[in-house]
Chains A and B, each alone.
Chain A
Amino acid sequence: QVTLRESGPALVKPTETLILTCTFSGFLLSTSAMCVNWIRQPPGKALEWLARIDWDDDKYYTTSLRPRLTISKDTSKNQVVLRMTDMDPVDTATYSCARGCSSSGFDFWGQGALVTVSS
């Protein structure tokens, strides 16, 4: 059974760095053709793909936020971490991790973690 769960702070201040952890089970990120993504959804707005890390440690980022994002993995802990610097109130959103590579779609998602950016 594949599960993913996001964890991290619910509230961050402007200019701070957000660190979110995705802990997953039911698959190994060291297995070929496995990938984990981060996707966010601001309240009342559309989904936005942020980043992806592949089994071979290749990393991809959405162009508009690339300077602020870092994705990494710890295969021994079955975790993927997203780091987002210089947080702003417009970054308030539910942040979700999801499994999937280019063609397969995002087939399993976590429940999401609401992050509010406010002073």
Chain B
Amino acid sequence: QSALTQPPSASGSPGQSVTISCTGTSRDFRGYSYVSWYQVHPGKAPKLIIYEVNKRPSGVPDRFSGSKSGDAASLTVSGLQDDDEADYYCCSYAGSDNFVFGTGTRVTVL
């Protein structure tokens, strides 16, 4: 199972928005709404920020939003803040009781 493809980096100034794409094959996303996104600060445990494509766990601000269309999912971070600077990973249920992560995107707040 190959990793889902994400851009290596994305950036924006404070207050701006950044969108991260997560692309795979039709098998990765077809019929599944089990796409999740994780924020990873250096040296810290990953934090779940989106699950089931567009749902936010309790405590995650609504500046984080997710969507899926066809063979791609995306995460949008609006109103960028300094603390949003981190690595972001998508993850999808890939069938056959397997999960696959994305390659990861480093978000920089300029």
Contact = CB atoms under 8 A, between A and B. Distances in A.
Question: Is B one of A's binding partners?
Answer: yes
Contacts of A105: 36, 48, 50-52, 57, 91
Contacts, number: 66
**In the complex, which of the residues B1, B89, B93, B97 has the most CB atoms of chain A within 10 Å of its own CB atom?**
B97
Given A47-B101, A63-B96, A107 B38 contact: no
**In the complex, which of the residues B46, B50, B102 has the most CB atoms of chain A within 10 Å of its own CB atom?**
B46
Interface residues of B, number: 27
Given A49-B91, A49-B98, A60-B98, A103 B45 contact: no
B93 to A, nearest CB: 6
Nearest to A104: B51
Nearest to A50: B99
Given A107-B48, A107-B57, A102 B34 contact: yes
From DSSP, what is the main secondary structure of chain A's interface residues? loop
A47 B1 contact: no
B51 A46 contact: no
A63 B103 CA distance: 18
Interface string A80-119: 0000000000000000101010111111011110000000
25 contacts: A37-B99, A39-B101, A46-B101, A47-B38, A47-B89, A47-B91, A47-B101, A47-B104, A48-B3, A49-B98, A49-B100, A62-B1, A62-B98, A63-B1, A100-B48, A103-B34, A104-B52, A105-B36, A106-B36, A106-B38, A106-B48, A109-B45, A109-B46, A109-B47, A112-B45
